[in-house]
Structure formats: C-alpha cells, structure tokens
Amino acid sequence: MIAHLKSLLRKFDEKNTETDSIDFKTGLAALLVEVMRADGHTDKQELDSIEQTLITYCDLDITATSQLLDKAKQLVEQAIDLYSFVNVVNANTNDVERIEIIEFLWQVAYADGSLDGQEDHIIRKISGLMYVTHADFIQAKINVQESRIQ
C-alpha cells in the first residue's frame, strides 16, 4: 500500500515538473489547440490558422511550429484544466496583448467557416481567466468576423 502511494506521489511530482516547464509559446499554442479541439473536430483550416498565428506572432519557422504544436497537443491531452496555460500567458502579456490573443482564438474558431457553441464557450472561459472584459471579448469577436467578410 505504501509503495503504491509513493508511486502516485512520484507521478504527481513529475507532472508538476512538466507543468512548470511551460513557456509562453507553449501556453499560447495550447490555448489555440484547446479552441481547435472544442467542437470535437480537428479541421485543416483551424490547424493552418494556428500554424500561421504561431509563425507570425511567435516568430517561428515551420519546423519549430510543428514541434511546438506537437508538444501543445500532448499537454492539452494530459491537462485537467486551463490554468497552467492561461497563467503563463497572463504572466507574459499586458491587457492589449491579451485582447489580441483572444482575437487569435476567434480566428481559429472561425477558420472552418462556422462557430460551434463549444468553441464560443471555451473562448469565453479563457477570456475570463485572462481578465479580458466582456466588451473587449465581444469587440475581438466582431473584429475577426469583419476581417473574414473583407
């Protein structure tokens, strides 16, 4: 019994070490992946949107972007909540940058041509955790909708 408990505690310590190693780029990628996965489908357009965001915003090449996405997907699969991802993004951004990140999330949600209720829900949740006001949340959504029309 004690050996089993020690084993569980060791696994818990390993997971905490993994969580502590999340950097800004990984946290951002994980949030983008969360939105992509929210509707239960992984569309190529959404994946392309994430890749383009990471290449442009994080100044990565395609190889580094691919590696980052693989790591983010793995972390998202193992995560029980969004806290570790949002926490690192919040620690490395200001209010204006957080609103811009919410726009990136909306771009992923709209990349496949439709907005699923689960995508809207996860972006709303992330927005709240990032302390983005409701007005800025809505404006970010409108900005992305208008940019898709033009």
Cβ-count burial 14-28 (b if 16+ within 10 Å, e if not): eeeeebeebeebbbb
pLDDT of residue 40: 87
For domain 23-149, the question of CATH label 1.10.3680.10 is answered with yes
DSSP annotation of 9: H
Q: Positive or negative, the Cα torsion across 101, 105, 132, 16?
A: negative
| Residue 102, CA atoms < 13 Å, CB-side half-sphere | 31
Model pLDDT for residues 51-102, shown as the tens digit of each residue:
999 999 999 999 999 999 999 999 999 999 999 999 999 999 999 999 999 9
Q: Positive or negative, the Cα torsion across 8, 14, 72, 68?
A: negative
Domains of the chain: which residue ranges?
23-149
Whether 50 contacts 36, CB under 8 Å: yes
Rounded to an integer, what distance in angstroms lies between the CA atom of residue 45 and that of residue 72? 18
Q: Give the global pTM.
A: 0.84
pLDDT of residue 18: 46
CA angle, corner 96, sides to 114 and 31, nearest 5? 45
